Amino acid sequence: MSGLLAGTPPLSEHAYVTLVTNADYARGAAALVRSLRLTGTQADCVVLFTGGVADADLDPLRALGARLVRTDLLETSEAFNAAHARKALHGAAPFTKGEKPSFHTPLDNFAKLRLWQLTEYSAVVFIDADAIAVQNCDKLFGYPEFCAAPNVYESLADFGRMNSGVFTARPSEATFAAMAEALDAPGAFWRRTDQTFLQSFFPDWHGLPVYYNMLQYVWFAMPELWDWAQIRILHFQYEKPWQDPHPKARELAPLIGLWQRIEAGGDMPPLESLPRP
Ligand code: UDP
Ligand code: MN
């Protein structure tokens, strides 16, 4: 199936879009949508979801007014699917910096590209389901395709790679078709899935400030970069804040606490009151 199935019509020409393929990411997405609403945005919050999500797991998203759009994983070849299966990918390109949760299926990541099929919107901002908005990000709807922040969480060398947890896009079926073709080329192996692919498809990606995609490891690895007043989106790459417990939970406790507060329906505390690393 190549189309998308929307339950409700769009209410804005702009949308924040996320992806959920199972119950765990649906939980993450609910915290994300809550956080976006707290920023006062009038843009739609679209959740692309697959058949892997039970209807009841979408209820919190419905209650928050998210626009739910049913979609499918991409129609990739058997060779592509085999190369990007969790075991094969973790074997060929091991993760040495952090742990991916058991509910993370690398192949599912590529379904992000479906957002280019949301042509009812003139501009969209994709945000991973394991992130929360800390401040309003609507300015990004005026930014061109393709903007993303660098994958900074360890050292200066990180500035040359992008992170695909937050990016700007202009939906277009033509772009989607061109991507689908480039993605599943014979022998293709995208070691960090959609992230490696998007950096290759948009080699001249425009860099957003790191604050639009502040990665949780910056908290302990590069604390001098941490500045609540500037942070727009906080992204829990690797271990997720709802994993209980995880190996870095103690080090990241203040960030996990903030995520939990938003998930529970709390407000965003005054930024100057938040702890510093
Ligand atoms: N995702 C999903 N199901 C999966 C894997 C990923 O729904 O099995 C979506 C979800 O929106 C998630 C994003 O793709 O936030 C990217 O995965 P993740 O955030 O776990 O990767 P990381 O940020 O740790 O690299
Ligand atoms: Mn993520």
Give residue-wise pLDDT tens across range 64-90. Answer: 999 999 999 999 999 999 999 999 999
pLDDT at 96 over 60: yes
Beta bridge pairs of residue 126 = 17, 167
Residue to mutate, 53, 104, 164, 195, ligand 1, most ligand atoms under 8 Å from C-beta: 104
Q: Find the domain containing 92 and state its range.
A: 4-273
Give residue-wise pLDDT tens across range 138-151. Answer: 999 999 999 999 99
Q: What are phi and psi of 120, to 5 degrees?
A: -75, -10
Give residue-wise pLDDT tens across range 205-260. Answer: 999 999 999 999 999 999 999 999 999 999 999 999 999 889 999 999 999 999 99
Q: Residues with Cβ within 6 A of ligand 1?
A: 18-22, 25, 104-105, 108-109, 128-130, 165, 237-238
Which helix (H) or strand (E) segment holds residue 176: the answer is helix 173-183
Q: How many domains does the chain have?
A: 1
The pLDDT of residue 257: 97
Which helix (H) or strand (E) segment holds residue 45: the answer is strand 44-49
Geometric angle at alpha carbon 176, from 159 and 27, rounded to 5°: 65
Q: What percent of the chain has pLDDT over 90?
A: 96
Question: Could you tell me the distance, in angstroms and rounded to a whole number, from the CA of residue 229 to the centre of ligand 2?
Answer: 22
pLDDT at 8 over 60: yes
Q: Can you give the CATH number for the domain in which 81 is found? A: 3.90.550.10
